[in-house]
Amino acid sequence: MSGRPSLDRLRELGRAQDRELAAQDLDRARARDRFLESAAGGSTRPGAARLGSSRPRWVAPAAIVALAGVCAALLLVLPPSSRSLSFAVGSAEGQVGTWIAATAEAPLPVRFSDGTSLALDVNARARVVAADARGARVLLEGGRLTASVTHTATSTWNFDVGPFDVLVTGTRFELSWSPAREELKLVLREGSVAVSGPLVGGPRTVAAGETLEVFCQEQRFELTRGEPSVAAPPPPPSTPIAPPSPGASGPAPAAPGDSAVTAKAADASPRRPGWRDLVAADRYEEAMTAAEAEGFDGLVARASAADLLLLADVARFSRKPGRAAAALSATRARFAGSGEAAKAAFHLGRMAFDQRRAYAEAERWFGVYLGEQPDGSFAQEALGRVIECRASMGLTSGAREAARRYLALYPAGPHAAHAESLLEEE
């Protein structure tokens, strides 16, 4: 025989403990009854039920201590995924997927619970697309932000900027994107990042002290050490020649042939900026107002493919998704088969994914883009989003199929870790 008590003995001990606890409960209940009776003048209210064994049992102090120990142990072993990052936008609680836009007057701070902080420069627009215990995915729609990302052993942050992906583990940097000019600028202050996207290939490492600038329309990029050279500002617009001021003896006589010039100068007045001018200055809400004044539907009906994509950006950044969808749908209808039509499909997919969590619709649009532009500038992100769409809909086999494709094409891409984790579950 071993020194351990038998099963029957353990059961008997348990029953004895239950009887002892029940007796303690009853004694406490009776003591409380007596207290209530004395407080009420020696009697309970008519019809009031006396405390007894039918009342809920009290929990003994020893049991409370044991329960607290169990709860503490559970907190220690909870998986990290159950404690996703939270964040605040200014003084308000942040919500994943919600539009974040800085005003024209001041930058807007965004602070995460792990110590990571972002600052959106004036007129910058962004969304926190996803967040978990390791980090977040931030979509910079336009403008400039400054980031200080806290580094941990498992931290992973992604910044989606136009067709580019910036993978961050922990660093300080400034990042800007102009949708109108299709220009990216990344200034690394500390740490390193990996940038993927058109022209730069990728993932291309950018280290502390380096600046990466990508000019998509010019099909070139520059990776320099130190601060980039600042281009000279454009010359101010020429001022119309004003007519001479009349003197005391009357206006000076005009020279022969000067009457037309004088009349034109007299009628000249500062031109009101059009919606394209306002986009170039990153003043998107004013650009939307100007486009509406000009007639948004008419613009959509006659604009070029490039201007339609620009109008869609203006509408998205002005929180008018219906107008944006109209411009993108017109691009698909009027310029079918073009590169702009394929980009419109991608943006329709991203709007469905980020703004409405309409994963089936988003997957369809990303698939359209990949079918039309399999090697396009958004192909890597589109295929990664297909993985996310299928996983979110519970389509496990489809998500794994897309994951295998992704890893074959982009083994070091920003969605590679997610793809690998899906395949490890097989």
> Tell me: the pLDDT tens digits for 178-209?
887 889 999 999 998 999 888 887 688 999 99
Spatial CA neighbour of 171 closest among 140, 193, 204:
193
Please name which of 341, 285, 349 lies closest in space to residue 315, comparing C-alpha atoms.
Answer: 285
- pLDDT value of residue 268: 52
Structure tokens at 24: 């303690």
Closest CA to 389 of 398, 378, 380: 398
DSSP helix/strand/coil, 206:
strand
Q: Is residue 349 a contact partner of residue 385, using CB atoms and an 8 Å limit?
A: yes
Predicted local distance difference test score (pLDDT) of residue 125: 87
* Residues in the chain with pLDDT values less than 70: 1-82, 202, 226-270
What value, to the nearest 5°, has the Cα angle with vertex 208 and ends 202 and 213? 50
Q: Which fold has domain 281-424?
A: 1.25.40
pLDDT, mean over the chain: 77
* 125 token code pair: 């627009």
* Exposure string for 198-232, b = 16+ CB within 10 A, e = fewer: bbbebbeebeeebbbbbebeeeebebeeeeeeeee
CA 173 to chain centre: 17
> What tokens appear for 18 in the block?
């239950």
Cis peptide leading into residue 203 (ω within 30°): yes
Beta bridge partners of residue 161, listed in sequence order: 140, 164
> Where does the chain hold its CATH 2.60.120.1440 domain(s)?
88-225
Whether pTM exceeds 0.75: no
Q: Where in the chain is CATH 1.25.40.10? A: 281-424
CA distance 150 to 2: 55
pLDDT score of 296: 94
What's the pLDDT score for residue 4?
47
- Class of the domain covering 88-225: mainly beta
Angle between helices 379-392 and 416-424 (to 10 degrees): 40
Helix (H) or strand (E) holding 389: helix 379-392
Q: Does residue 174 sit in helix, strand or coil?
A: strand
Rg of the chain in Å (alpha carbons): 33
Burial letters for 55-90: b for 16+ Cβ neighbours within 10 Å, e otherwise?
eeeeeeeeeeeeeeeeeeeeeeeeeeeeeebebebe
pLDDT at 227: 59
